[in-house]
Amino acid sequence: MTEKYGRSFIGKVALVTGGSRGIGEGIVRRLVSDGAAVAFTYSSSEEKAMRLAGEIKDAGGNILPIKADSASAEDVRAVVDQVAKELGELDIFVNNAGILIQGGVDRYSLEDFDRMLAINVRAAFVGIQAASEHMKGGGRIILIGSVTAVRTAFPGSSVYSMTKAALTGLVRGAAIDLAPRAITSTMSSLVRQ
């Protein structure tokens, strides 16, 4: 399969947060098809996660599904440590996990605000810290953003848009901080469908 896209990640280890469905599932499938050993996290989609892992294993891929709550800094750190222990040092870290809790800024609850920040921003920060401790030179850190960081397209998305805009600043700073170790940090802004 690796010849289809002209690149090979054979011998590489990747971790994708929020990888059981949607964009995350697509990223997991692509990395596996390019030859990487891939771990991915899921929180509530256990059936989908196990189905995905089973399909990949049946096709000969190296896959490790891990249940974790991205709102928990301890869970995020533990996942990275587990992946490094079971699969080896990380080459690729993709922070894809995120949530959208809609609500107008004038009536948005502080509890929902804190949960969105924890999952959409703090988990990315903690993930970058933890992954970089287990990452080889030449490693890649990728944050999945959103076009809503610069173009809020619908009512009730102000807090979500803010969290995605925060990732823009985080990824730029991480790129500078990790450059001496030859670790790149970038963001992909995808549109969820």
**Known catalytic residue at 160:** yes
Active-site option among 5, 42, 108, 160:
160
pLDDT tens digit sequence for 4-48: 544 689 999 999 999 999 999 999 999 999 999 999 999 998 999
- Residue 49 maps to which CATH number? 3.40.50.720
Let me know: does 146 contact 189? Beta carbons within 8 Å.
Answer: yes
DSSP 3-state of 191: coil
pLDDT tens digit sequence for 99-149: 999 999 999 999 999 999 999 999 999 999 999 999 989 999 999 987 665
Average pLDDT, the chain: 91
Q: For residue 128, how many C-alpha atoms fall within 13 Å in the half-sphere facing its CB?
A: 24
Residues of the domain holding 139: 2-190
Structural domains of the chain, count: 1
Let me know: does 55 contact 79? Beta carbons within 8 Å.
Answer: no
End-to-end CA distance of the chain: 26
